[in-house]
Every structure is written in C-alpha cells, then in structure tokens.
Amino acid sequence: MMADALGVEVLKLVNEYVVIDTVKIASLLEKDHQQIVGAVNSLRSLGDVIQTEQVSNKHWQLTEEGKLFLEHGSHEACVFEAVSAEEGMLQEELMKTSPNAKIGFSKAMSAGWLIMDKKAEGGPRVKRKVTSIEDIAKEQVMKVQAGGIDSIPDKERNELKKRKLIMEVVVKSFKVSKGVNFCLSVSKLETDLTPEMLSSGSWKEQNFKAYNFNAMGVMPVSGHLHPLMKVRAEFRQIFLEMGFTEMPTNNYVESSFWNFDALFQPQQHPARDAHDTFFIQDPMYATEFPMDYLERVKKVHSEGGFGSQGYKYDWNIEEAKKNLLRTHTTAVSARMLYKLAQLEEFHPVKYFSIDRVFRNETLDATHLAEFHQIEGVVADYDLSLADLIGVLHEFFNKLGMEKLRFKPAFNPYTEPSMEIFSYHEGLKKWVEVGNSGVFRPEMLLPMGLPEDVSVIAWGLSLERPTMIKYGIDNIRELVGHKVNLQMVHDNAICRLDKGNK
C-alpha cells in the first residue's frame, strides 16, 4: 500500500530540504502540525524510509485574541473604523460598539488617530484626526502567523506579548531527514503473505515488515467457561480415570422415599423438616414406587430386620410420597444401587455424580440454598473402611491433597462415617474437605443386594474447592444473580496448580 498523499508531500519536502522540521512542513503545506506528525509516524513504519529526531522548540503562536486581529483587524483599527469620518461619534456610544472598544479607543488615541471634543453638545465626542491609518498590530500578528517572528523587533514583540496577542509554546516536533531506504514513491510494508502473492509470484517485489517476535498474541474471541464448570470437568476427569461411571442426575425433584426413606433416614429426622428441605407444592406427591421394595423399607424402619432393631415407629407412606428438591445426590446413588440389585447377577460398580442439590438453610458468605454435590460410590464384595480410606487417598491425591486425616462422624445412612480433612499448605491449616462412610445394611439389604456386598461412598461440594482454587471469598461472586460476568470472562483459561500447596 502506497504512503498516502500527505506522506508523499512530506517526502518531497524532505527531498528538497534534506533536513526539515515538522513545524516548518506544517507551515509550508498549510496543515495542522499534529497532522504532519501523524504522516511522519506513518512514514516511519515503512521501514527506514525517513529518519527522525525528536526536538523541542520554543515557538511563538497567536492567542485567541491574536487570531481575532487576523480576521477583524486590531481593536484600535476597529474603533477608528467605527467613528464616522464626518460627524465623529459620542464617546459613550463608541464604548458600546465592541467589548474591546475601551482598549481600542486608548490605543487609537495613543496612535494619534482620534481626538476628543469634551465640550461638544450632548457630551464628549470622538473625531478622526487622520484620514487613513496603517494597522501595524494586525500586520505584526500576520507576520507571527506566517512564522516570521524573527523579523519583528524586540520592542514590538514585547508589546504583542504584553497585549497577550502572542504566546510562546514548547512544541515537540521532529527533524525529518532521509532514511537509508528513502524514495519518493514508497509502498507500505506488507504484513501478510497471501495465497495470491504466492501463486502470482508478486511476493518477490513486495517489502515485508520484519517479524516482531515480541508482539503479544491477540486474545482469541471465544466463549468463557464459568470456574465452577472448569472445576467440575477436573473432578469428572479424576473419576473417569479412576474407572468411575457417571450417574444420571437429571432430576432435581425427588420423592422423600428415594431422598430419605430408602437411605434409612427416619421420617421424624430434623433434616426432613420444611426448615431444612424444599418440599414441592405441585405435584406435591410422587405416585409410583416399586411397592415390594417400599414394603421392605417400611418394615426395616418400623420393625427392623437384617439384624437391625429398626426405629420402632409407624412408618407413613404419605410422608414418603412427598416431593422435594433433592437435598443430596445420594438419592441418585440409592436409585442406582436399587437398579443394580435387580440384576440377575451382582457385579461390582464404581459410580459418581456431580450435580445441584438444594437445602433450605440459613444463607451466609459461603452458603447458598443450593450447591453442587460431588459423590463417589463403590459397590463390591467385602469392602471395608480400609478400602474407603484407600480410595479417598487416591481421589484427593489427584487434587494435590496428600495429607488426609479422618474424624468419626454420623450420617443416618452410613456406619461408620468419617469427616475428611486435608492439610492445605496455602492456607496453612487443616480444611474439612468432605464426608464419607459405609452404607448401612438397613439401606442395602431391603434393595436386595447380596449380604456379602458392601458399598462405600463419599461426598464433597464443588463450590468450596472452586472458591479456594480461584481465590473467591464470597459465594455470591461465584454463583447467583449478582455474579459479575466479567469474572467469567477474565478467569484463567486453565490453572496449573496440580499438587496445589
């Protein structure tokens, strides 16, 4: 691409003057100085066509008032013109002819252009003393405008300065001279080698811009994954490489039967209260259950069985039918284990799930009424707590958590149960990272699983690790209607914190 027309004009002047300042170029081409600087910068990008040296010059230029002189003449000349050659003019009237009449009148009197008749009828009257004038001030301002200030004697220059018609400014400009590749018809350096150039061979005549290896890449325009979804993918990957299969968790609405009763959670348990659980108004009740299994659940709650004394209360199907928003993904685990128990032949399985659960809890900076639960389940013959601890080490190790400690805990559906703690090197403290346990026989045997099959499981949340990994303190910055979508845009495309300390 050729240098543009102004660029070519500049090159011609450089050619003629050998070295020329951009202020001079602006004056010769009657262009604004900044426009000339822009043209020079564009020429500089063509690669050594010109050479430039930045200079600072003190430069006299007209003030706004000085520019008025160019257009209308000096104030004194305007006042002289306002006074009629024959009758003159009342001084009072003359002062109203312009905002600068007072200064113009004073200068015109000093210049001997006017006289005053103080005894005239009607008040002091101004008359012309000469028939014509020479507007010196305007001529001097014109000289300055044309860059000819040096031709004005110091005394007059100081007068112009005193009258604030001219001001001295520091102008950063460029001394421009020929570069090693100087020529009058330059073409812009090519930045792309196109298929057309290759096929036509025109690349041979092109000048290519040197490759800038330090140039930063352009941020690719793309979508942006929410941190939660990135960490979910990390957990999913860990489960998959450990041979786990993802469970179908696509039902937020669940019956109390699968969410609680199937897990041997008694109907009077506080967690089943409306203060902790979101019950559904419509449809309020689930209607379809495997009734033979439901009878066995009812029995194990009310009378016991399988070696358990049960809870000895009147189990009520109406309670089990109530629909709710699932409070944990363990409801899905229960459904999957029941399905497994219906097979002709039991086979070991490893299941996982990562999905939303809902709890009617007190909200605070780290707790909302919903969160994503991560759950792992292993069903096999004769599994023990040792197997659970081993699987937990394997799982959390892949998250960079090497030091684990376990604390006895209680869940209605697991015995024994353990809270899981990991020493977080970054936070320098033990952090609770989840909960786990061995599902109770009162949960597994009514499903029909063989007596020598045991099931170990554990759970944690997705939000907690995400907030720690992305340094987010308030959960409302991570999820909810107040999330700043710029956070989703700006968060790192990937984190390299494997073995995060």
Q: Write down the least CB distance from residue 342 to ligand FB9, Å.
A: 21
CA separation for the pair 227, 235 (Å, rounded): 12
Q: Write down the least CB distance from residue 429 to ligand FB9, Å.
A: 11
Specify the residue, 190 or 415, whose C-beta has the smaller distance to ligand FB9: 415
Q: CA angle at residue 318 from 247 to 444, to 5 degrees? A: 40
Q: Write down the least CB distance from residue 239 to ligand FB9, Å.
A: 14
CA separation for the pair 219, 500 (Å, rounded): 27
| Helices assigned H by DSSP within 374-474 | 385-397, 441-444, 463-469
* Full DSSP string of 27-90: HHHT--HHHHHHHHHHHHTTSSSEEEEEEEEEEEEE-HHHHHHHHH--HHHHHHHHSBTTTBEE
Specify the residue, 10 or 418, whose C-beta has the smaller distance to ligand FB9: 418
CA separation for the pair 265, 260 (Å, rounded): 5
Cβ atoms 162, 140 nearer than 8 A: no
The closest of 179, 183, 187, 189 to 12, measured between CA atoms, is 183
Specify the residue, 347 or 429, whose C-beta has the smaller distance to ligand FB9: 429
Cβ atoms 48, 180 nearer than 8 A: yes
CA separation for the pair 373, 391 (Å, rounded): 18
Q: Write down the least CB distance from residue 411 to ligand FB9, Å.
A: 5
Q: Write down the least CB distance from residue 377 to ligand FB9, Å.
A: 7
Specify the residue, 12 or 407, whose C-beta has the smaller distance to ligand FB9: 407
Cβ atoms 354, 232 nearer than 8 A: yes
Specify the residue, 73 or 434, whose C-beta has the smaller distance to ligand FB9: 434
Half-sphere exposure of 337 (CA within 13 A, CB side): 33
Specify the residue, 210 or 494, whose C-beta has the smaller distance to ligand FB9: 494
Between strands 89-90 and 125-128, the pairing is: antiparallel
Q: Write down the least CB distance from residue 344 to ligand FB9, Å.
A: 27
Q: Write down the least CB distance from residue 238 to ligand FB9, Å.
A: 12
State phi, psi for 84 to the nearest 5 degrees.
Answer: -65, 135
CA distances 124 to 102, 109, 295, 343, 361, Å, are 15, 14, 122, 123, 93
Helix (H, G, I), strand (E, B) or coil at 202: helix
Specify the residue, 165 or 475, whose C-beta has the smaller distance to ligand FB9: 475
Q: Write down the least CB distance from residue 308 to ligand FB9, Å.
A: 18
H or E stretch covering 319? helix 317-321
By Cβ distance, which residue is nearest to ligand FB9? 459
Specify the residue, 173 or 256, whose C-beta has the smaller distance to ligand FB9: 256
CA distances 129 to 14, 82, 96, 261, Å, are 52, 14, 21, 117
Specify the residue, 254 or 375, whose C-beta has the smaller distance to ligand FB9: 375
Specify the residue, 246 or 295, whose C-beta has the smaller distance to ligand FB9: 246
Q: Write down the least CB distance from residue 43 to ligand FB9, Å.
A: 56
Q: Write down the least CB distance from residue 325 to ligand FB9, Å.
A: 14
Burial annotation 233-244 (CB, 10 A radius, 16+ → b, else e): ebbeebbeeeeb
HEC assignment per residue over 111-164: CCCEEEECCCCCCCEEEECCCCCCCHHHHHHHHHHCCCHHHCCHHHHHHHHHCC
Instruction: Enumerate binding residues for ligand FB9 (CB under 6 A).
Output: 330, 373, 375, 411, 414, 424, 431-437, 457-461, 464-465, 468-469
Q: Write down the least CB distance from residue 224 to ligand FB9, Å.
A: 22
Q: At what angle do helices 5-17 and 22-29 cross, to 10 degrees?
A: 120
Specify the residue, 77 or 468, whose C-beta has the smaller distance to ligand FB9: 468
Specify the residue, 40 or 354, whose C-beta has the smaller distance to ligand FB9: 354
Q: CA angle at residue 312 from 357 to 409, to 5 degrees? A: 45
Specify the residue, 173 or 414, whose C-beta has the smaller distance to ligand FB9: 414
Residues in the chain: 501
